[in-house]
Structure 1
Amino acid sequence: MHGVMKSVSDLGLVVYGIRQRARLSQRELADRLGVSQRYLSELETGKPKVLNGQFFTVMEKLGIELSFREGADRG
């Protein structure tokens, strides 16, 4: 799947969708990712309190690639 994420809420929807397609509870996915259920819940609701190395590790384990594009045509 490919798409543009413009907010942390968009990212949360992607994480939620991945979990739903895998038919896993938040607890099950959190255990597989090595994070707390609370952290996963915060990600899914688009309200992570911390965006650190753990965040990027979780994204990598879920197969989510974050990229950026410098917009010269903005303005």
Structure 2
Amino acid sequence: MLSAQDLGRFLGDLRAERGLTQAQLADELGISRRYVYEIESGKPSLYSDRLFATLRLLGARLTVEAEVDDGPVEVVDDRQRSVLDGEARHGTP
């Protein structure tokens, strides 16, 4: 993941997949629904801006996994997906 928007999109999709509304998640976390919305929309914050700037500067990428019934599933961002798709078409492992 390269940005707070990528992470927020992942979290929003996962929340919806788990059948939770923003209000339900907010209640579980003890925060406002508005804050959940801001997280899921990738609203810039000093922390997230610095975190992703540091990752970029160091040439690192944040990887997030979600637990499912069959074990963890790695989330692949759009850039990784296009590389993996290209490798699959060209027979590259």
TM-score (structure 1 length as normaliser)? 0.58
Q: What amino acid is aligned across from residue 12 of structure 1 in structure 2?
A: G
The runs of 5 or more residues in structure 1 that have no matched partner are 53-67
Show the counterpart of 2:2: 6
Letter in 1 for 2:31: V
The alpha-carbon deviation at position 24 of structure 1 amounts to 0.9
Say whether residues 1:43 and 2:39 are aligned partners.
Answer: yes
Distance apart, 1:13 and its partner CA: 0.6
Alpha-carbon distance in 2 for matches of 1:39, 1:48: 12
Match of 1:20 among 16, 27, 44: 16
Structure 1 vs Structure 2: percent identity of aligned residues?
A: 44
Conservation of the 8 A alpha-carbon contact between 1:9 and 1:47? yes
Q: Which residue of 1 aligns with 2:28?
A: 32
Report the RMSD for the aligned CA atoms in angstroms: 2.3
Which has the larger share of helix? 2
Q: Deviations over 1:25-74 (max 9, x none)?
A: 1100111111110100001111155649xxxxxxxxxxxxxxx5933xxx
- Structure 1: which 4+ aligned runs deviate by more than 2 Å? 48-52, 68-71
Match of 1:64 in 2: none
Structure 2 Cα separation of the partners of residues 23 and 10 of structure 1: 20
- Deviation (angstroms), 1:8: 0.7
Q: Which has the larger radius of gyration?
A: 2
**Map of 1:56 onto structure 2:** none
Q: Structure 2 length as normaliser, TM-score? A: 0.48
